[in-house]
Amino acid sequence: MPAWICATCGVQYPDTDQPPAACPICEDERQYVGWDGQRWTTMAELARDRATTLRDEEPDLIGIGVEPSFAIGQRALLVRTPHGNVLWDCVSLLDEAATRRIRDLGGIAAICLSHPHFYAANVEFADAFDARILIPRADQRWIQRPSPRVELFDEDAEPVPGVTVARIGGHFDGAAVLYWPAGSDGRGALLTGDTITVVQDREWVSFMWSYPNLVPLDEATIRDIAHRVERFAFDRVYGGWWGRVVLRDGPAAIRRSADRYIARLNGERPTD
Ligand SMILES: [Zn+2]
């Protein structure tokens, strides 16, 4: 039986005879049901005209995407470490060529996810590489494809020694970031999906309750998000899409972006 994949958000559901009645992730106000109504596909169908693509981002960091783009078009990141590899976020297609390449890169020890919109086919990836799946307890109700591989955590966890996944909230209560101290030539990297999103002006980031529907967050939550990443030392910030990277001094980018956001919420405009 096929495991159904929502064509709008790309999240995979259990393998059942008939597709699910609805996609709770798309029906939530932070997402949307496709304009032509709820549609479902499967990985086998996706594999007919799409491929899983791997691209080097920096040493020991490999981007994993789907081409042509599918659903929300995110790219996942494979972090290689001497203690096992961590897949940060996920995509909806794992084809045979990508499976071989990921195996050559050392496989996947653990999968960590920024938030439910990026859950994609995480159970299928975990089954292929015998990986653990770490999800914040705060987002347990958003798990659409249950698996005995899922381990819930409260505030933070260490998927492999030396890498930390931390819940910082905002976009979802369980919205998380991955801290990789060895990234950016040892200056540290923060992988954020769109828990903290890297915007078009890559000196800046933003924070939203809903990105497709453009619903903002409140001042207290923005302050909390900015505060929760202060404990990490890092340079680059890797957002959830190809090229969405703050290349240097990520902490300053997050600070000034939080300050600007709060200023605009309070009606303050730049002065010239
Ligand atoms: Zn959906």
pTM of the entire structure? 0.97
pLDDT higher than 80, residue 13: yes
- pLDDT-derived band at 82 (thresholds 50, 70, 90) equals very high
Two tokens at 76?
């996942």
Distance, CA 252 to ligand 1 centroid (Å)?
34
Two tokens at 249?
């001094």
Q: pLDDT of 232-253, one tens digit each?
A: 999 999 999 999 999 999 999 9
Token match 């009645």: residue? 21
Two tokens at 72?
């929300």
Q: pLDDT of 201-211, one tens digit each?
A: 999 999 999 99
147-165 mean pLDDT: 98
Distance, CA 184 to ligand 1 centroid (Å)?
34
What is the distance between the alpha carbons of residues 13 and 97, in angstroms, rounded to a whole number? 23
Q: What percent of the chain has pLDDT over 70?
A: 100
pLDDT higher than 80, residue 272: no
| Count, residues in the chain | 272
Q: pLDDT of 87-126, one tens digit each?
A: 999 999 999 999 999 999 999 999 999 999 999 999 999 9
Distance, CA 247 to ligand 1 centroid (Å)?
32
Q: How many C-beta atoms surround the C-beta of residue 256 within 10 A? A: 15
Distance, CA 26 to ligand 1 centroid (Å)?
4
137 — phi, psi (to 5°)?
A: -55, -30
Distance, CA 83 to ligand 1 centroid (Å)?
34
- Is residue 82 within 8 A of residue 43, CB to CB? The reply is no
Distance, CA 52 to ligand 1 centroid (Å)?
20
Confidence at residue 194, expressed as pLDDT on a 0 to 100 scale: 94
Q: How many C-beta atoms surround the C-beta of residue 35 within 10 A? A: 6
